[in-house]
Amino acid sequence: MRRKFALVSALSTLLTVFLLGIPLTFYAAYAHLAQADHDAVLQAQTLATLTRESADSGTGQLTSWIDSQQRNVRATVVMPSGTRFGAPVPCLQQPEPHVGDLEQWTCRGHRVASLAVPMPDGGEAQVDVAVDTAGASEETLRVIALLAAAAVVLPAVSVVFADRLARSVVRTAGELTDVAADLRQGRLDSRFAGTGPPELRQLGLTLNALAARLDALVTNERESLADLSHRLRTPITSLMLQAEALKDRRGGERLLSALHDLNGEVTRVIRHARKPIASNGGLTACLDAVVADRVAFWEVLAEEQGRACELTVHDTDCQVYVPPAELEAAVDVLLENVFTHTPDSAGMLITVRAHPGGGAELTIDDDGPGFSDLRVVERGRSTGGSSGLGLDIARRTATISGGRLVLSASPTGGARVTASFGGPPVPRRPQGAGGAS
């Protein structure tokens, strides 16, 4: 971005110098020629006055004035008697002017003015003044040189200032991007504290307010979950006391063991809810590792049912924006859905692959009857006698990470569930790995 900003600044400055330089060059040439014309006329009129006065006061003042002129001015006076004062003026083949008339023309780089002056004692004197315009050409070339220097220096200066401005904008935008990435990964304590243009600072303050609001909402929800889970302990404790009082010792022990397991799950939920969201538990997980672990867990049940279960991992180290515990729960939901809603003989194929831009994808194909209604992923909707919340849990987990859950048909006519998870844009090196379990 900085390079583009500097390039645009340099090109715009160069274009400005170019558009202003062309008319300025022509105007400089015209102004110098116009000044030469003005000087020639003014000198001719002054010389005409001195010529008329020389009839009374003599030619001393006339010759002194002619000799004192600058090198680029040539002046000559031809008296009625034919006497000439001053150096010859070039190109005097022009028509002689009438008395009182002023004639002007250009000849070999000179701007010439000629005037016929009536003398007091009769007759006419011829006054000719030529101004050399070579100096005007030099001035024009000097203007062109200055414009060329400006065309080199000004873009360079504009690039320096543009780079400094762009650096400030890019740095501030980078800090805003880092804060947004932290919020996306669940680090709600991340805040923008940088400087920069007022618009970006205002955006940073708005982002901070959004982060604070999200932090408050999440904290409130987690506290509510912890409180609700804590309330469950009272009825669980009551059931445990009743189980201990049962006369059927064996049945009571089984029920008591189940209640202990339930109490342990409630305790785990409370601890998870109380744990800070940005704790060291990690905000990303390795999808291929989690899937391999959960497939190994469910493989025992698959072997008991005689169900084929194959895992294919196309890429390793597939980091996704989901905490490990939540990712495990989502994978368990998807695998349990196959065991629950397909016959024991229906096999399944689990595939894990990375996304080129970051994140990864989990696909589960089964040989069951498939989905009769693809809207089953909607929360609370089910066509198989269940609550319909399982697939919605997986869908929400995928959506929060920046991915999505898609239901379709598998190549064998069964169900296909594709869960895409967002993840950090880390370059990956594909590794062909196919493992059957």
Instruction: Assign residue 413 the CATH number of its domain.
Output: 3.30.565.10
Which residues have C-beta within 8 Å of that of residue 424, sequence separation ≥ 6?
Answer: 284, 319, 321, 358
How far is Cα 89 from Cα 111, in angstroms, rounded to an integer? 11
User: Are 237 and 292 in the same domain?
Assistant: no
60-67 vs 2-57: helix crossing angle, rounded to 10: 160
Residues facing residue 127 across a β-bridge: 77, 115
Q: What pLDDT score does 281 carry?
A: 42
Q: What pLDDT score does 416 carry?
A: 93
pLDDT in tens, the chain (437 residues): 567 666 777 777 777 777 777 777 777 777 777 878 888 888 888 888 888 888 777 788 888 888 887 777 888 888 888 888 887 777 665 556 666 677 777 777 778 888 888 888 778 888 888 888 776 667 677 777 887 787 778 777 777 777 777 777 778 888 888 888 888 777 778 888 877 788 888 888 888 888 888 877 777 776 666 666 656 666 777 677 777 767 677 777 777 777 777 776 666 666 665 555 544 344 788 999 999 999 999 998 889 888 999 999 998 889 998 888 889 888 998 998 898 888 988 999 999 999 988 899 999 999 988 887 766 555 444 444 444 466 888 888 888 888 999 999 999 889 999 999 988 886 545 454 444 44
Edge-to-edge, what's the strand order for the sheet holding 124-132? 84-86, 73-78, 124-132, 110-118, 102-107
Task: Tell me phi and psi for residue 151, to 5 degrees.
Answer: -65, -20
Whether pTM > 0.85 for this model: the answer is no
User: Are 22 and 134 in the same domain?
Assistant: yes
Which residues have C-beta within 8 Å of that of residue 290, sequence separation ≥ 6?
Answer: 324, 327, 328, 331
Task: Tell me phi and psi for residue 5, to 5 degrees.
Answer: -60, -45
Dihedral sign for Cα 158, 164, 165, 170, please.
positive
Q: What range does the domain containing 102 cover? A: 2-138
User: Are 299 and 264 in the same domain?
Assistant: no
Position 368 in a domain: yes
User: Are 232 and 354 in the same domain?
Assistant: no
Which of 123, 138, 153 represents a domain boundary (last residue)? 138
User: Are 134 and 212 in the same domain?
Assistant: no
Q: What pLDDT score does 41 carry?
A: 87
Which of 219, 247, 274 represents a domain boundary (last residue)? 274
Q: Which DSSP string do the residues of 329-398 spell out, in sequence order?
A: HHHHHHHHHHHHHS-TT--EEEEEEE-TTS-EEEEEEESS---S-GGGGSTT--SSSS-S-HHHHHHHHH
Q: What pLDDT score does 293 carry?
A: 93
Q: What pLDDT score does 179 carry?
A: 86
CB neighbour class for 356 (10 Å; exposed up to 12, middle 13-18, buried from 19): exposed
Tokens of 410: 């598998």
**What CATH code is carried by the domain that includes residue 255?**
1.10.287.130
